Structure 1
Amino acid sequence: MSVGRWTFVFFFCIQYPASCIFHPAMTRHSTISPFRVLLPISIGTGLSLIGDAALYAVLPTHVEDAGITVAAVGIILSANRFIRLVLNGPAGMAYDRFPRRPLFMASLLLGACSTAIYALGGGFWPLLIGRLLWGLSWAGIWVGGNAMIVDISDSRNRGRWVGLYNICFFLGTSSGSVLGGLLTDRLGYNAALGTGAGLTFAGAVLVWVLLPETSRLRRKRILTDPPGAASTHQMMQCRGHLGSAFLLMGVNRFSVAGTLMPTFGLFLLEYVGDSFQISGIRLGVASATGLGLGFTYLISMISAPAMGWISDRCRSRWQAVAWGVLPGAAGFVLLAMAHPATILAALLLTSFAAGSNQGLAIAIVGDLCAEGVRGRTMGLLFTVGDLASAVAPLLAYALAPVIGLRYIYVGVAALLASMLVLACYRARAPVPAMTTDPP
């Protein structure tokens, strides 16, 4: 049996039986309001991220409380990302084959358990097990949440709904870091992470109470044209647009999550110094890094739904992609100038692109993929993103001593400029969606 099949069986055996215990009767209404789905999965997703983000914020400075060495911090914090490379696909297959609601709720419960392990377990192995369980949990949460958003939307409004769902991702990540730091200072390491576990569990309860099942909304695969009318050329166009959306996700995650965020503190230290003054206030490099990265999440929270709405209005996702990629390329050029006056503008532009491109890539895939394979297609899309964000820091830190961060940022700007050219090309050749929207 292949690795993919084993991981699929593992995902199913862990999550599906447990979730069925908590599967109350579904609504009898023939239609489901998108907001009824968006609200509970957004709250559940946002709350689930608090424990993970808190661990990133406090573990490096509380290794004694965690019972590990400083050398083990990198392994612990990256373990969940690497396991998702093999779990995103099986998670998507599970969502295609079984009802979405119980799997999503079980993923949240598993996330609460993983965060509880951080709080209760000390030492390398308990933390590693918790991180691996979180990787499994997040694969189910993020793949399933986006699959449900695609279920309840169509090509006329999908950009807006996907963008609104992405707000919870950026909000949960940013608030988790702040809340984790504050609670750790007030209550201590274990109590802070225990609070994160409780919040994730509360999100699972809310999902159980409020979330309807959406898998029944999936329709059979239908081409926009009458059966048999789609030409081979049209099918190849669909595949080309789908592949370009995967490339967009990879380039976006490589650029911001993989390159900018892990290297921004080092960039400030190298080109600005260990402290600098803004409006009479002197900031250390650590504070400036935290404020700068927090600022990026705020901008991404705005750009994701805004550009999704624009893509719905202009009826061209790729035109909106071009408008989103352009500020990203410009932002990395400004960063490469390494001047304090350009850094804030650069962060604004790159974070705008990060939020815009992530949501639009998901919306494009939702428009193009067939109804019965949306889960596994989303899983593959996020695997591409996870791989790009895992590889980028390794490349950046390997090249930084050789060519310097400024030229690395120039290279990223060139990569985004290439994506801009591709987006403009795709915008000139729109392709019919693989599913038919309701009249």
Structure 2
Amino acid sequence: MRLVLVVALATGLSIMGDSLMYGLLPLEAPHLGIALPLVGVLLSANRLVRLVSNTWAGAAFERWGPYRPFVAATVLGAMAGLLYGVGYGFAVFLLARVMWGVAWSGLRQGGYEAVLRGEGRTHGRMMGLLWGLVRLGSAISVALGGFLRDRGGYRLAAGSIAAMTVLAIPVALGMRWPGGATSPAGETPPSPLAGWRMAWRTAPRRWLLAAASLDSLGEGALVSTASLFLAERIGAVALPGLPLIGVGTVAGFLLAVRYLADFLFGPLIGALSDRLGRTRTAFLLAVVLLAGLGSAVSLSGLALAACLTLVFIVRSGSFVTFSAISSRLASESESPPLFVGVYTT
């Protein structure tokens, strides 16, 4: 468990810059020299680069073990965060998003490696703990960043969060991973292409990849459009006796609810999936998630906020459940790091 906690701390610090962008970039794009239609390109660029970098990360962990690739990922993540703070224009932010995509491939691979080194019967609980703590970092980022943006502007918010991402580097440097590289010394590790062939070899692996891809697509669309959607449906909030709460703060705190759902409910749903069965749990969560998304489209105000809260809780559960399933299938595969690399793509 200690390894999972330390990996979660490093990853939770690293992800803060990325999480902030989902809350602030749609609101600040015109002031950063970025055309609004290009915001979607920037927020998806890190996902597109992971189509390649995830398998690279799996191969790197297979060849050199987890320590060096994980440290490199925290360094790259910190560099991306610093670019968010000082950058201007589409090209600079595109570079930062690509850098973050590569960094996230290594960080996420490290998380799965940490869980895989534990007992199989607790993978659901450990996945919930890992991603719950990681998303706590996201929640702090969007809540604090939104508040700082409304009080002191974008540069203050992005610079403060960037400074926090740098703290992930000493955490990663001080880690002690059990074991080493998966491939024996002198043996050439399998290529990333071999990972894809392995991942599609059995029906359970194919079903997992298809279901997780749809889940990830929905998550990306939801988070990347949440700020503008909330600005249109809710806007600024006026409470008696308090200053007007800006849309940056509103969007930040509602996105924080999304990430806190991972922290508060991820471990619980992960433990439930260990007992109830992960496939059955994933199916039940998918039904509730689709119903919640369908309802959110027609709601506004507090009803919308309540519906989105339910969606965020269920989404955290589906992510943890799919991750636990992938952990079990990875442990049964010929090369766990390469399978994880394909799954996270």
TM-score (ref. length: structure 2)? 0.80
Amino acid paired to 2:107: I
Amino acid paired to 1:245: L
Give 1:350's aligned residue: 311
Give 1:165's aligned residue: 130
Give 1:331's aligned residue: 292
Give 1:212's aligned residue: 176
CA contact (8 A) 2:63 2:183 kept: no
In structure 2, the CA distance between the partners of 1:74 and 1:261, relative to structure 1 (3 Å rule), is closer
Matching of residues 17-416 of structure 1 within 5 Å: 34-35=1-2, 37-63=3-29, 66-70=32-36, 72-150=38-116, 152-185=117-150, 188-209=153-174, 211-216=175-180, 239-259=202-222, 262=225, 265-266=228-229, 269=232, 290-314=252-276, 316-335=277-296, 338=299, 343-369=304-330, 370=332, 372-383=334-345
5+ residue gaps in structure 2? 185-197
Amino acid paired to 1:78: S
CA contact (8 A) 1:92 1:144 kept: no
The CA deviation string for residues 253-285 of structure 1, in whole angstroms up to 9 with x for no partner, is 23344247626854884xx67689999999888
Instruction: Give 1:125 deviation, angstroms.
Output: 2.9
- Measured in 2, the distance between the counterparts of 1:131 and 1:82 equals 10
Identity, % of aligned positions: 27
Amino acid paired to 1:380: V
CA contact (8 A) 2:146 2:252 kept: no
CA contact (8 A) 2:58 2:339 kept: yes
Instruction: Give 1:164 deviation, angstroms.
Output: 0.5
CA contact (8 A) 2:57 2:69 kept: no
- Measured in 2, the distance between the counterparts of 1:341 and 1:64 equals 29
- Measured in 2, the distance between the counterparts of 1:326 and 1:86 equals 31
Query: How many equivalent pairs are there?
Result: 330
Moved more, 167-176 or 66-75: 66-75
Moved more, 195-204 or 284-293: 284-293
5+ residue gaps in structure 1? 1-33, 221-234, 384-439
CA contact (8 A) 1:68 1:123 kept: yes
Amino acid paired to 1:239: T
CA contact (8 A) 2:266 2:320 kept: yes
Instruction: Give 1:131 deviation, angstroms.
Output: 2.0
Amino acid paired to 1:358: F
CA contact (8 A) 1:92 1:143 kept: yes
In structure 2, the CA distance between the partners of 1:174 and 1:380, relative to structure 1 (3 Å rule), is same
CA contact (8 A) 1:101 1:214 kept: no
Structure with bigger gyration radius: 1
Q: Which has the higher contact order (CA 8 A, sep 6+)?
A: 2
Amino acid paired to 1:158: H
TM-score (ref. length: structure 1)? 0.64
The CA deviation string for residues 106-141 of structure 1, in whole angstroms up to 9 with x for no partner, is 100111112223334444333322222111111111
- Measured in 2, the distance between the counterparts of 1:339 and 1:60 equals 20
In structure 2, the CA distance between the partners of 1:160 and 1:219, relative to structure 1 (3 Å rule), is farther
